[in-house]
């Protein structure tokens, strides 16, 4: 059985968690392939909002197995908090949640290093979520990291100590004032590791091979968005993993020829949290309206998200890099009430009109070129089928499908599971 992929096509926060939750009934296994608790996947049903950071978004369904893959970085302290939240809902995570032995651990000193590194950058800071993501992936690629499987070895504390000592020297090197109580952080860490060790650690790639052999259906769940990919995103204002489709191969051990559908999730407009270029960013009333109506605040950090019009140049780039086969448009309801909608269909780049996503999209090089379309005024949030859509929304969808040469198969009109329209 083939594997389907689901990933974000913009700068994250597209609403991947909601769609994974909606699609989970169709799958035996939901598998996260990269990122860590910098993610905040929001799900809403029965009038309750759930935010997951590490745990795959299929956990609320009865039968699906949820796998945290080797490409993910895990902070035991945050994961244990997530587990405690699940306790309230009587979720049997001891049998439904599996963790790859090859996933790397975020240590307390990784978080401190992240903070020291950001502080030392001053104005040039990335705007990191400060969850220790960059330093943990640095240790992974530098071949120094500690992995989940190491927790089963007798000398893991010694290895932790050696690495933490090195991190402390690195923190000092940054030359910034950072107040912390490592003893207290370590106490929390050790306590969380004890709880974490009650979960099931597996050789996840073998588990995936076997599941494929048995014809099980697998949905690989991405985190962040394509424009935050460490290779293809707006470097250096990116995260430290491959958020694009190839990341699912390395982050789970899935061969490229086993991937069938690639579901690309995007918002009907664009948002970005943290620093970095954003060509269609709005600094006016329209941007403020999107932020307010769309409740655009980070689910991990609470930071206000920057808002702007839909950038089709960037979206097309993401569709191509990921080989997207189906698009899913989120938050169409937020655009209700705009008389005119703007869609960026090209960039003016160093004075010339271009249609591709160039090396450098800093504002001094890039100016968006917009196509204007008519907006709609109807409230979409109560609609339950496509036939209720206003003509202008249908025109917006048709325009995007044509430009992106890919069908839009789901339109989301609100945060609840039920506010999902299959086209």
| Active site positions, annotated | 13, 41
Beta bridge partners of 341: 373
Of the candidates 188, 99, 209, the residue with the CA atom closest to the CA atom of residue 151: 99
**Of the listed pieces 99-107, 127-135, 162-170, 171-179, which binds ligand IMP according to CB under 6 A?**
127-135
At its nearest, how many Å lie between ligand IMP and the CB of residue 274?
A: 2
At its nearest, how many Å lie between ligand IMP and the CB of residue 341?
A: 23
> Judged by CB under 6 A, does residue 5 bind ligand IMP?
no
Q: What are phi and psi of 128, to 5 degrees?
A: -60, 155
* Closer residue to ligand IMP in complex, CB, 129/322: 129
Measure the CA dihedral 40/43/49/51, to 10°.
Answer: -20
* Closer residue to ligand IMP in complex, CB, 7/163: 7
Q: Token pair 């890039």 is at which residue?
A: 366
- Neighbour count for residue 141 (Cβ, 10 Å): 10
Of residues 367 through 396, those in contact with ligand IMP by CB under 6 A are: none
> Judged by CB under 6 A, does residue 133 bind ligand IMP?
yes
For the chain, the farthest-separated pair of C-alpha atoms sits apart, in whole angstroms, at 65
**Of the listed pieces 37-45, 100-108, 158-166, 386-394, which binds ligand IMP according to CB under 6 A?**
37-45
Cα–Cα distance measured from residue 350 to residue 60, given in angstroms and rounded to the nearest whole number: 49
> Judged by CB under 6 A, does residue 102 bind ligand IMP?
no
> Judged by CB under 6 A, does residue 243 bind ligand IMP?
no
Q: Using the rule CB under 6 A, which residue among 126, 219, 321, 343 binds ligand IMP?
A: 126
Cα–Cα distance measured from residue 41 to residue 19, given in angstroms and rounded to the nearest whole number: 10
In the bound state, the residue with its beta carbon closest to ligand IMP is 274
> Judged by CB under 6 A, does residue 242 bind ligand IMP?
no
Cα–Cα distance measured from residue 6 to residue 224, given in angstroms and rounded to the nearest whole number: 11
User: Are 264 and 319 spatial neighbours (Cβ–Cβ below 8 Å)?
Assistant: yes
Measure the CA dihedral 295/345/312/239, to 10°.
Answer: -90
At its nearest, how many Å lie between ligand IMP and the CB of residue 134?
A: 5
> Judged by CB under 6 A, does residue 251 bind ligand IMP?
no
> Judged by CB under 6 A, does residue 128 bind ligand IMP?
yes
Q: Using the rule CB under 6 A, which residue among 32, 111, 131, 306 binds ligand IMP?
A: 131
Q: Using the rule CB under 6 A, which residue among 54, 109, 129, 270 binds ligand IMP?
A: 129
Cα–Cα distance measured from residue 394 to residue 400, given in angstroms and rounded to the nearest whole number: 10
Of residues 198 through 227, those in contact with ligand IMP by CB under 6 A are: 223-224
* Closer residue to ligand IMP in complex, CB, 91/133: 133
Cα–Cα distance measured from residue 414 to residue 332, given in angstroms and rounded to the nearest whole number: 8
Give me the DSSP letters along 325-359.
SEEEEE-GGGGTT-SEEEEEEEEEETTEEE-S--S
> Judged by CB under 6 A, does residue 319 bind ligand IMP?
no
**Of the listed pieces 11-19, 44-52, 156-164, 309-317, which binds ligand IMP according to CB under 6 A?**
11-19
Task: Please state whether 18 falls in left (phi above 0), alpha (psi between -120 and 50) or beta.
Answer: alpha
**Of the listed pieces 6-14, 44-52, 353-361, 379-387, which binds ligand IMP according to CB under 6 A?**
6-14
- Strands 41-45, 259-267: pairing is unpaired
At its nearest, how many Å lie between ligand IMP and the CB of residue 201?
A: 24
Three-state SS sequence of 92-140: CHHHHEEEECCCEECCHHHHHHHHHHHHHHHHHCCCCCCCCHHHHHHHH
At its nearest, how many Å lie between ligand IMP and the CB of residue 133?
A: 4
> Which structure tokens are listed for 62?
């009865």
At its nearest, how many Å lie between ligand IMP and the CB of residue 367?
A: 23
> Judged by CB under 6 A, does residue 15 bind ligand IMP?
no
Cα–Cα distance measured from residue 389 to residue 385, given in angstroms and rounded to the nearest whole number: 7
At its nearest, how many Å lie between ligand IMP and the CB of residue 130?
A: 7
Q: Which residues are CB-neighbours of 349 under 8 A, at least 6 positions away?
A: 358, 365, 366
Binders of ligand IMP: how many residues, by CB under 6 A?
A: 20
**Of the listed pieces 35-43, 146-154, 187-195, 335-343, which binds ligand IMP according to CB under 6 A?**
35-43
* Closer residue to ligand IMP in complex, CB, 13/392: 13
> Which structure tokens are listed for 186?
């370590």
> Judged by CB under 6 A, does residue 274 bind ligand IMP?
yes
Residues engaged in binding ligand IMP (CB under 6 A):
11-13, 38-40, 126-129, 131, 133-134, 223-224, 228, 237, 239, 273-274
């Amino acid at each position: 059985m083939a594997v389907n992929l689901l990933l974000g096509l913009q700068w994250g926060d597209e609403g991947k968690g909601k769609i994974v939750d909606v699609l989970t009934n169709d799958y035996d296994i939901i598998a996260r392939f990269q990122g860590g608790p910098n993610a905040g996947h929001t799900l809403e049903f029965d009038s309750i909002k759930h935010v997951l950071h590490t745990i795959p978004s299929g956990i609320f369904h009865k039968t699906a197995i949820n796998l945290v893959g080797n490409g993910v970085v895990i902070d035991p302290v945050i994961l244990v908090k997530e587990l405690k939240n699940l306790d309230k809902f009587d979720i049997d995570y001891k049998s439904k949640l599996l963790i790859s032995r090859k996933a790397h651990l975020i240590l307390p000193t990784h978080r401190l290093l992240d903070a020291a590194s950001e502080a030392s950058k001053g104005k040039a800071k990335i705007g990191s979520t400060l969850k220790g993501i960059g330093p943990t992936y640095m240790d992974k690629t530098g071949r120094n990291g500690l992995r989940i499987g190491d927790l089963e070895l007798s000398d893991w504390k010694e290895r932790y100590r050696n690495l933490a000592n090195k991190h402390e020297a690195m923190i000092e090197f940054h030359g910034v004032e950072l107040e912390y109580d490592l003893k207290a952080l370590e106490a929390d860490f050790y306590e969380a590791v004890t709880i974490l060790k009650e979960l099931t650690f597996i050789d996840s790639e073998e588990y995936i091979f076997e599941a494929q052999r048995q014809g099980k259906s697998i949905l690989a769940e991405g985190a962040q968005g394509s424009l935050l990919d460490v290779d293809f995103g707006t470097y250096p204002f990116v995260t430290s993993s491959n958020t694009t489709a190839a990341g699912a191969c390395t982050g789970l051990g899935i061969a490229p020829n086993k991937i069938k559908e690639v579901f690309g999730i995007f918002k009907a407009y664009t948002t970005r949290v943290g620093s970095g270029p954003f060509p269609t960013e709005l600094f006016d009333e329209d941007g403020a309206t999107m932020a307010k109506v769309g409740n655009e605040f980070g689910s991990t950090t609470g930071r206000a998200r920057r808002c702007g019009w839909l950038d089709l140049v960037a979206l097309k780039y993401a569709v191509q890099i990921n080989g997207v086969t189906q698009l899913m448009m989120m938050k169409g309801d937020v655009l209700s009430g705009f008389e005119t909608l703007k869609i960026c269909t090209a960039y003016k780049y160093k004075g010339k009109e271009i249609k591709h996503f160039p090396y450098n999209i800093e504002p001094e090089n890039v100016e968006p070129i917009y196509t204007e379309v008519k907006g709609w005024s109807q409230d979409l949030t109560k609609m339950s089928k496509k036939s209720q859509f206003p003509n202008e929304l249908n025109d917006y969808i048709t325009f995007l499908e044509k430009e992106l040469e890919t069908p839009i198969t789901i339109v989301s009109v609100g945060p609840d599971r039920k506010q999902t329209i299959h086209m």
